[in-house]
Amino acid sequence: MQQADVIVVGAGPAGSTAAREIAQGGARVLLLDRARFPRDKPCGGGITIRTAALLPFSLDPVVEDVVTGARLRVRGGREVTRDAGRPITYMTQRRHLDQFLVERAQEAGVDFRDGQAVRRVHRRPDGCYEVRTGSGDAHVARVVIGADGANGVVATALGYEHAPESALALEGNLPCPNGVPEAFQHRVVLNFGHLPGGYGWVFPKGDHVNVGVGGWKPAMAKRLRPALHRICRLYDIDPSDLRDLRGHHLPMQRPGALTAAGGSAVVGDAAGLVDPLSGEGIHAAIVSGRAVAPEVRRYLDGEASTLSGYHEAVQHELLPELEASRALMEIFHVAPGPFVWGLQHWGFAWKQGCRLLRGEAGYRDIVGSFTPLAMPLLKPAASLARRRHARAFPER
């Protein structure tokens, strides 16, 4: 049986960030992932400037396109193209990003082992955690962190509540052997109104574009493929040319859900920390990975009896932002037209969106910048939008 101070299960952005920052404090950290690296993973692959700024190293080695603008379209034909004049988002591929982040963790002293599918996790009478893999290996540590995604093994084994809601997404890659078409270079293409509670996208990468659709409406699984085909046709893409077509879930946790207990914690998608408006999870993954590290160090040093400090940090720092995002999402996806009109005709609205992506403001800051009454009015407006949405798109 192999000993460590901390075992992190899952080597995505949340897991590798947590492992790296904990190891930098001198702890023995074991990072496990079921896949063989480098491995691909369904994801739009957008990293906002505010997310990149959280890391103590440059992501330049894995950046495939620098986005400086957006092309937005709503059902009915209204379209607007805006340019920020400076970077707002980096585009990458998860196979490259995750490998890069793992390597930075290894440089900090993390013991990374891929191809290790965790099958069982339990807390022993002595308070330590025993982790067993499909290959029969057993590991013991004082701390275990679940970074293994929605419905992960760690959360299930230790009794954490799974996210009650999840988005569904379907995406594929269009190879561009002659280079990404100019219409898609350095901008994100977003389309609203063709899928209830969601949107479609075209994202530029190095040698291809990523095309997808996704949203939060629970009963829309059967609508994903037709919606994807509609998005393709709007931008003169033959759906049959898409490669690596994949579907996936994005979890959204309820406010107050437990994220730490004893010497265990869940981070990133495993904690349901996904941005409701965009469906993006890399930012919250890195934020939560960073937030858990100091609490783990305090726990290992005997300064704290549990990792509850991490749970409090999530509740007070991260979840209020996600709640503001969710309220905006519930309004935006019901009536995207006025938002797109505002971006087209009101420079202040576009500027605020760019500030958000660059990390110069948060969702609460953005909402508050329009009027001091915005936040108190946002939840009632979202509730009304949700009821209208339910009537327009009944569960079937």
Give residue 332's pLDDT. Answer: 76
Query: In this structure, are 315 and 327 located in the same domain?
Result: no
Residue 357's domain comprises: 323-392
pLDDT tens, position by position, 152-174: 999 999 999 877 678 889 999 99
CB 186 within 8 A of CB 203: no
Dihedral through CA 45, CA 38, CA 238, CA 47, nearest 10?
Answer: 10
Residues 127, 39 share a domain:
yes
Give pLDDT, residue 11.
98
Q: In this predicted model, what pLDDT tens digit does every residue of 4-34 receive, in sequence order?
A: 999 999 999 999 999 999 999 999 999 999 9
111 and 70 belong to one structural domain = no
Query: 386 pLDDT band (50/70/90 cuts)?
Result: low
pLDDT tens-digit series, residues 266-324: 999 999 999 988 889 999 999 999 999 999 999 999 999 999 999 999 999 899 899 88
Pick the more confident residue, 340 or 98.
98
Are 38 and 132 contained in the same domain? Answer: yes
What CATH number does the domain containing 131 carry?
A: 3.50.50.60
Residue 102 sits in the same domain as residue 154:
yes
- Specify the higher pLDDT residue, 373 or 213: 213
Whether the predicted pLDDT of 106 surpasses 60: yes
Which pLDDT value is given to residue 99? 99
Residue 235 located in a structural domain: yes
Please check whether residues 210 and 280 belong to one and the same domain: no
* pLDDT score, position 328: 81
Spatial contact of 366 and 355, defined as CB atoms under 8 Å apart? yes
Contact 4, 30 (CB under 8 A): yes
Last residue of a domain, one of 203, 234, 251: 251
* pLDDT, position 372: 55
Position with higher pLDDT, 111 vs 2:
111
**Amino acid letter at 148?**
D
Query: At 175, phi and psi to the nearest 5?
Result: -60, 140
Total-model pTM: 0.90
328 against 179, higher pLDDT: 179
For residue 172, being part of any structural domain is answered with yes
Would you say residue 51 lies in a domain?
no
Mean pLDDT of the chain: 88
Given 268, 292, 319, the domain boundary residue is 319
Mean pLDDT of 47-58: 95
What's the mean pLDDT in 88-100? 96
* 355 and 233 inside one domain: no
User: Does the pLDDT at position 396 exceed 60?
Assistant: no
Between CA 33 and CA 37 the distance in angstroms is 9
> Is residue 19 within 8 Å of residue 31, measured between CB atoms?
yes
Q: Given a cut of 60, is residue 204 above it in pLDDT? A: yes
Number of domains the chain contains: 3
- Looking at the chain, the whole-number percentage of residues with pLDDT higher than 90 is 63
Q: Are residues 218 and 189 in the same domain?
A: yes
Cα(239)–Cα(226) distance, integer angstroms: 10
* Mean pLDDT value of segment 230-258: 90
Query: pLDDT confidence of 376, banded at 50, 70, 90?
Result: low
Decide if pLDDT at 136 tops 60.
yes
Q: Residue 217's pLDDT is what?
A: 64
Beta strands in the chain (DSSP E): 2-9, 29-32, 46-48, 65-67, 69-74, 79-83, 89-91, 111-113, 118-123, 129-133, 138-146, 165-175, 187-192, 198-204, 208-215, 243-252, 260-261, 264-266
Q: At 226, is the pLDDT very low, low, confident or very high (cuts 50, 70, 90)?
A: very high
Residues 311 and 286 in one domain: yes
- What tokens were used for 351? 């500027």
Banded pLDDT at 384 (limits 50, 70, 90): low
What count of Cα atoms within 13 Å lies in the side-chain half-sphere of residue 60? 3
Specify if 213 maps to a domain. yes
Domain of residue 208, CATH code: 3.30.9.10
> Which of 302, 319, 336 is at the close of a domain?
319
- Does a structural domain hold residue 344? yes
Indicate whether 144 and 21 sit together in one domain.
Answer: yes
Judge if 180 and 306 occupy the same domain: no
CB atoms near residue 221 (< 10 Å): 11
- Asked if residue 209 and residue 303 are part of one domain, the reply reads no
